[in-house]
Structure 1
């Protein structure tokens, strides 16, 4: 196939803050690298990228690895996008005044800004997120609410494109966002080239929900493992056990027996408890109403959702939402919640 790039390459400037998170940075820049050249030769032909820090010194990541060479901040108008990648968030997290000033300068020049992972915190600190939607990882949702109560975070999607500002939850979603921008500037073929070399089948849309923290211990039974994967992919619907059995290639009776032997409960109750955990997650990490959450979790009506939720967690969804919003109360971590009637995750 003869592919012709556009006349001007896609140019991206990276602002790497102290102890920046390495995975979203690597996923984003490698997607650019693979789209930039034929094969895997890494020449900056169709895409250009520049790593920048306030001092021009190598950037230290959160895992201790450093990235170099870095330069001091360049004229923001040299870039199509400026991507800021934040670091570990704690009470002693340093503010990079020079970096914040640079982001304000870039915004003033009309250069689109990308807040990647905790880079969105820097956009807030720079005063650039007022009245904006703000995509953040569910993992940092509570921290954002506590530190910036005037900001309304979005934690149920991968990234939000507001035109001149894009915010991304981080992690592997950085590759999806990079592919999205590559497709916009260079075409779909170049975006798919990058993703396929990275062993990713296709780019996820920004509106896709963030993967939920549903964790299981080691499960030896392959049939049960396959069933769990199907259930995780259909958290928003009450799948019948006949349909589930057909999807995994067995009978309903055998499916019931294998679930009880492996997990101590039948697949129908397990599936319902899984959807309730999803509802619990949505109560803590989104602003959706109880009615919306019940519908999204596949329950026929709010009363049905509330009744089963209270049976599982001892409180109603409204009471759980109130607890989650109480100042000073620790966030319930869905990783460690125990749903009655089956082993803790």
Structure 2
């Protein structure tokens, strides 16, 4: 007997004391897959699969695959070999599609799409890890569900799939037949969530201790993002510049380097920002830092001084003043609400 739920919350810790049916999980690696998403997800399964820490596939079995069993190179350049081809899905509970840096490829594998369609028809739950959600969407298997994507790729996802609702206010979203995850370390939380669903909280705690982690983050925890909504902005140069700044939030690039990246002069860049966003690149960077600071204020117990320094402010007073100007309240008031 398996315990299934499409809710966004964790199942109760007092799961019934019954002999669980072993889970079968397939993991498909896409080109330029991210190592953290792949290894984090698989390691949770491995650590919980037996009782003696021997990595035996007793409670959980898994198979790592690729289209035509081709080796897959990760986004870090390492090569994953000895992969299986897309297999017969009989008896499988989950298929996880692990993506990475190939999400801009809009010509998906027809073989993969067809295989995912078959999995969907067999009621095998699909897991989109990192940008693996793009492949599931390309197969036409996301209909009315809201999906979770990493804040760094939401703009591209919206461009490719304008009719699909997506957000960055979750680490992952369980919508029933399709579960989507932002990627990175959030896949660990997703894998732990699956353990709780099928085996109870104790099994998840076993994996948690082995990985030297302290807690299981809930699905509804917002991503630590500083995403700027550019949907109303049609100038692609602004999109490119903002993305460039996002990648360098800890070390603000000079206006000349941003302009060079976009292919305009510094003066042109300032004019573009003024007409599209009514602010300078430096002001945008400050807003991003404050948004990240607000996330830290509301989602961690770090001191305001530590948060201020983490966000690039000289001291907590400067941070608090800027915070209140943008959000209408001080960091302490925001935390206590």
1:131 maps to 144
| Alignment-derived partner of residue 316 in structure 2 | 267
Q: Please state if 1:81 is matched with 2:94.
A: yes
Q: Which residue of 2 aligns with 1:322?
A: none
Is the Cα–Cα contact under 8 Å of residues 32 and 102 in structure 2 kept in the other structure? no
Structure 2, unmatched stretches of 5+, are 1-16, 227-245, 252-291
Q: Deviation of residue 263 (structure 1)?
A: 4.6
Give the paired residue count. Answer: 254
Q: Which ranges of structure 1 fall in alignment gaps of 5 or more residues? A: 218-228, 249-257, 280-293, 301-345
Instruction: Name the counterpart of 1:167.
Output: 180
CA shift digits 1:25-52 (9 cap, x unpaired): 1000000000012343111111111011
The CA deviation at 1:275 is 7.2
C-alpha contact (below 8 Å) 1:24/1:172 kept by paired residues: yes
Residue 342 of structure 1 corresponds to which residue in structure 2?
Answer: none
DSSP 3-state at the match of 2:153? helix
* Distance across 2 between alignment mates of 1:64 and 1:140: 20
Q: What's the counterpart of residue 193 of structure 1? A: 206
- Offset at residue 66 of structure 1 (A): 2.4
| Structure 1 residue 53 corresponds to structure 2 residue 66 | yes
User: What does residue 222 of structure 2 align with?
Assistant: 209
- What does residue range 302-321 of structure 1 map to in structure 2 within 5 Å? none
In 2, Cα distance between equivalents of 1:158 and 1:166: 11
Equivalent residue for 1:233?
Answer: 296
| Greater RCO, 1 or 2 (C-alpha within 8 Å, sep 6+) | 2
Normalised by the length of structure 1, the TM-score is: 0.65
Please give the per-residue CA displacement for 1:127-153, whole angstroms capped at 9, x wherever unaligned.
011211010000001111122211221
On the 8 A contact 1:235/1:298 being kept in 2, the answer is: no
CA contact (8 A) 1:34 1:40 kept: yes
Q: 1:38 aligns with which of 40, 51, 70?
A: 51
Question: C-alpha distance in 1, partners of 2:181/2:44?
Answer: 15
The match for 1:16 among 17, 23, 29 is 29
Structure 1 pair 216–189 and aligned structure 2 pair: CA distance change class (3 A)? same
Instruction: Tell me what 1:100 maps to.
Output: 113
- Give a deviation string over 1:164-189, Cα, whole Å, max 9, x none: 11000000000000000011111211
Q: Contact 1:114–1:165 (CA<8 Å) still a contact in 2?
A: yes
CA contact (8 A) 1:14 1:84 kept: yes
SS class of match (2:57): coil
Deviation at 1:102, TM superposition (A): 0.6
Instruction: Tell me, yes or no, if the aligned pair for 1:31 and 1:179 is still in contact at 8 Å.
Output: yes
Distance 2:156 2:293 in 1: 32
C-alpha distance 142-100 of structure 1, shift in aligned 2 (>3 A)? same
Is 1:177 aligned to residue 226 of structure 2? Answer: no
